[in-house]
Chains A and B, each alone.
Chain A
Amino acid sequence: MQIPIERYELDNGLKVVLSEDHTTPVVALNLWYNVGSRNERPGRTGLAHLFEHMMFQGTVHVPGTGHIAHVERAGGSLNASTWLDRTNYYDTVPSDRLELALWLESDRLGWFVPALTQEKLDNQREVVKNERRQRVDNQPYGDWDERLQMMLYPPDHPYHHAAIGSMEDLDAASLDDVRDFFQTYYAPNNAVLTLCGDFDPAEARRLIEKWFGPIPRGPAIPPIPGRTTLDPLKLGREVRETRGGVPLARVYLAWRIPVYGTQDYYVADVASELLAGGKSARLYRELVRGRRVVQSVTAFVLPVVTGGSALIARGSGAAGDDPEVLERALRDEIRRLATGPVDLAEVERAVTGLEARHMFDLQRVNERADQISQLTTFFDDPGLINTELDRYRAVTAADVQRFAAEYLTDDNLVVLTYVSADAEVAR
């Protein structure tokens, strides 16, 4: 299975990737802007995400919530998301409405600022604060990523704060902040546009030039604020925090690891699969099914590129479980990656699982387009969608063992413990 890739660039610097597939008469349009919460200044956390909300509040030629209305009445779906390194906007529409989607996405890149109003900002600020309440403040464990980021990354590193931002900073964001953010980061030379699905490539090129071509190149993008390198990469100590107010005990363990794109990142991804990728994986087999000291486990790596990534493992307990026992069980089992033998068979199972899921995911044009945009934004290499699996296949049992010995160590560890509300009362 080979995903077709056609890459080129407009004169204004917009990178474009086209990937045809005529299976279903739909086309996915996906735009990645190379800006995320990492680009926020101190005192303005949450601005990148609040800004993303503002992009749905109207432009000069498409006022109000017209963008969403146009896509919905065309029979399409759309959304956007903001994370540490990037902000993505995506529309999936019936293929006869490709030009509509190009019109809408180009208008908010070219004609956004004059349509800004204080009223729109105040409304979306309330929406975002309610998003924070719903996802973080009124959700058991909802602040886990915010807390882990604070402990994993030093205060002057751009990943020290979470993309959702703080209530105080959201309150402080002004119309000038929104305008400045747009003028600094939303330029064709800071974006990747991917089309995936049912279109004619020559016609698509013509339409992309028609709608995006006239938008002028922006000024050079300023460097990311703060300290973007971590030297040494390893934390050098253990960092802990305990929180309460949740139904059942839960422990998060996180280690700093090399960023997405390095060979060790792929080794880390295989290691996390081998720990908790399926029910034959070590943490499930030993701790959930075997000793029954943990109720459920997951492990994963963060696909981020600025300074350092993390491998995160999570174990949840049952009623009355002691979080210290949870923590010890998880740590002991993970330590065995470095100290005991790693079987070829378990590495093969891990890679088999990654390969199969990759193929299952790619069936959706919007997922394919998003992956292509990511690979182009981070590595300027959309063809990796076809070859990245080779990097996983190259990982050996010895690589996993060496990686674990180097990075999954006690002096490179963040421990976040949630104690159940019942246990708090008992104390």
Chain B
Amino acid sequence: MSAPVLDRAQVPPRGPLRPFHFTPVHRRRLANGLTILVAEQRTFPVVTVDLLLDAGGRAEPGERAGVAVMTTTLLESGAGSLDAEEIAERVDGLGLSLDSGVSWDTGQAGFTCLRARLEAGFELLADLIRRPTFPEAEVERVREERLTTIQQRRGTPSSVADEAQSRWIFAPGTAFARPLGGMEWTVEEIHRGEISAFHARRYRAAGATLVAAGDASVDEIVALAERWFGDWEGTGEPSPPAVVRPRLDQTTIVLVDRPGTVQSEIRIGHIGIERTAPDYAAVTVMNAILGGTFTSRLNLNLRERLGYTYGVSSSFASRRQQGTFGMQTAVQTEVTAHSVSEMLRDMREIREAPVTHAELDDARNFLAGVFPLGLQTTDGVAGKLTSIATYGLPDDYYDHYRDQLLAVTADDVLDAAQRRLWPDRAAVVIAGDAQKIRGELEALDVGPVIVADPAELEAE
């Protein structure tokens, strides 16, 4: 018997579909006001624990920008009876992957560990969060480390473009215009006293959330939290919202001159949305079609049709308040102006006519399908719990997330594009060889072309 002839031109059929559910989220609260969110994930003997604090970039004064980042960095420099070296030996001896950091909305410290080290991890985390000692010598070292990072970024074209982008999206003097880790002149002025004051004011039980995901039950996590954080105290006012105000009232091309570079780093953007915006799902689908996938309009145009770049993408970075929208790419110098005009054209076109059925279907299915891929790891799941805690999303939000995406219509996408994309008020920031590209950019006639003052990029 001969096998049936295989028709290779035919897309193979689907196999049996297995449903996907987001792990149930359990919420508890200790008497001291500490909130606990837990999601079990039992395949690997791994647990991720994160403590989230109202100690993000938004909570720091502008003239001391960088204090939030320095505070989390310094938690490992001495805590309780341990000095920096003893902490490091404990972390490495337990095989903890220690992770601390700062976003605009939160400061955070936590770890991923093998299940057997969970209690030891809690013990150490309690010391770091509750009893940091901020030794003077370590403050100096971490300051130098921050200054070095700032100088390194200044010499890296993509970082230069990113930072200039924020400066030209948001009004001068507002928090979101600054780089999250501060500027040279602010970091130089941050002293030990300010760091311990920031810690005393912002690292407290009330308003903090402990998230845990992985191979541990709710009861285990609550018992450990009670034991190591139950007698932690402190209340206070939540940090105030940031002022969110645009800088530009018309599309403006800002050149950051990098003589002799072989590529232009292009960033086109403006103010975006809050994470809780009612049209978040529609905006996400719209962005996927514009520049959120390999087969997006921008990438098929600039990379696959024109060959100008290794890749181009767009994204909305949403915060508790309005964040940013941005399109980003790096192109060879000679095609800078043409790239800008093509990107602006793609941005306008998605506002002018509904996307096709195929585009809509593909984008929705892509987003719904890749969602579980990020949830295979304990830190991926902990990241979702972090979003629930930070933005005040409902506990069952991620149960319904895929349905929300799949329900977006072409009209929703058009509406989102018209409301959330502002091609006439965009900051077009280009880090590149100004002398070579300025003339053609002026000839585009999309708005004024200015060369940024390097000193201003450092200033408040």
Contact = CB atoms under 8 A, between A and B. Distances in A.
B369 A93 contact: yes
Contacts of A289: 84-85, 88, 138, 141
A262 interface: no
B86 to A, nearest CB: 9
Nearest to B43: A23
Q: Is the interface of A mostly helix, strand, loop or mixed?
A: helix
B141 A292 contact: yes
B92 A278 contact: yes
B13 to A, nearest CB: 7
Interface stretch (A7-15, A70-78, A233-241, A390-398): A70-78
A133 interface: yes
A357 B97 contact: yes
Contact of A24 (B303, B308, B367, B375): B375
Given A95-B15, A96-B16, A363-B378, A352 B330 contact: no
Interface string B63-99: 0000000000000100000001101110111111100
A139 to B, nearest CB: 7
B263 interface: yes
Nearest to B8: A61
Contact of B11 (A103, A126, A284): A103
Contacts of B76: 279
B259 to A, nearest CB: 12
A319 B95 contact: no
A304 to B, nearest CB: 25
A319 B91 contact: no
B294 interface: yes
Select the residue from B94, B305, B330 with max chain A CB neighbours within 10 A: B330
Interface string A73-95: 11111000000000000001111
Identify the interface centre among B6, B8, B141: most chain A CB within 10 Å of its CB. Answer: B8
A250 to B, nearest CB: 10
B15 A127 contact: no
A96 B15 contact: yes
A122 B306 CA distance: 10
Interface in B22-62: 43-46
Contacts of A124: 307
A363 B43 contact: yes
Contacts, number: 219
Contact of A279 (B91, B114, B308, B372): B91
B365 interface: yes
Given A139-B156, A355-B95, A295 B145 contact: yes
Interface string B345-369: 0000000000000000110011111
A386 interface: no
A316 to B, nearest CB: 8
B455 interface: no
B20 A24 contact: yes
Contact of A72 (B261, B362, B378): B362
B304 interface: yes
Given A133-B330, A295-B145, A69 B157 contact: no
B15 A349 contact: no
Interface in B1-16: 6, 8-9, 11-16
A356 B113 contact: yes
A180 interface: no
Given A25-B20, A363-B376, A353 B46 contact: no
Given A75-B369, A133-B330, A214-B6, A140 B156 contact: yes
Contact of B112 (A97, A111, A360): A360
A85 B147 CA distance: 39
B20 to A, nearest CB: 5
Given A75-B365, A134-B330, A281 B92 contact: yes
A69 B20 contact: no
B309 interface: yes
Interface string B129-143: 000000000100100
A103 B14 CA distance: 12
A335 to B, nearest CB: 22
Contact of A133 (B151, B152, B263, B362): B263
Contacts of B295: 65, 68-69, 72
A1 B44 contact: yes
B18 A95 contact: yes
B245 interface: no
Interface in A407-422: 421
Given A279-B88, A364-B377, A77 B14 contact: no
B375 A111 contact: no
Interface string B145-156: 101100110111
B362 A69 contact: yes
Contacts of B378: 363
Contacts of B278: none
B263 A138 contact: yes
B331 interface: yes
A204 B236 CA distance: 58
Contacts of B376: 23-24, 26, 363-365
A23 B40 CA distance: 12
A130 interface: yes
Interface string A18-50: 000101111000000000000000000000000
A186 B375 CA distance: 34
Contacts of B304: 65, 123, 127
A390 B151 CA distance: 43
A345 B330 CA distance: 47
Contacts of A246: 155
Contact of B370 (A65, A76, A135, A365): A76
A203 interface: yes
Given A72-B293, A349-B92, A359-B45, A97 B370 contact: no
A272 B384 CA distance: 34
Contacts of B443: none
A131 B312 CA distance: 12
6 contacts: A68-B295, A70-B11, A95-B18, A123-B305, A139-B156, A364-B377
Considering the complex of A and B, which 10 residue pairs feature the smallest CB-CB distances, nearest first?
A75-B369, A247-B155, A356-B95, A126-B307, A279-B88, A73-B362, A280-B88, A25-B18, A278-B92, A131-B310
Given A360-B46, A363-B46, 16 more contacts: A21-B43, A61-B9, A68-B295, A72-B362, A75-B366, A97-B14, A99-B14, A129-B332, A134-B310, A139-B157, A211-B6, A279-B87, A280-B92, A289-B85, A316-B152, A356-B96
Interface of A: 1, 21, 23-26, 60-61, 65, 68-70, 72-77, 92-100, 102-103, 107, 111, 122-131, 133-135, 137-140, 198, 203, 210-211, 214, 246-248, 277-281, 284-285, 289, 292, 295-296, 316, 318-319, 345, 348-349, 352-353, 355-357, 359-360, 362-365, 421
Interface of B: 6, 8-9, 11-20, 43-46, 76, 84-85, 87-89, 91-97, 112-114, 138, 141, 144-145, 147-148, 151-152, 154-157, 261-263, 293-295, 300, 303-305, 307-310, 330-332, 361-362, 365-370, 372-373, 375-378
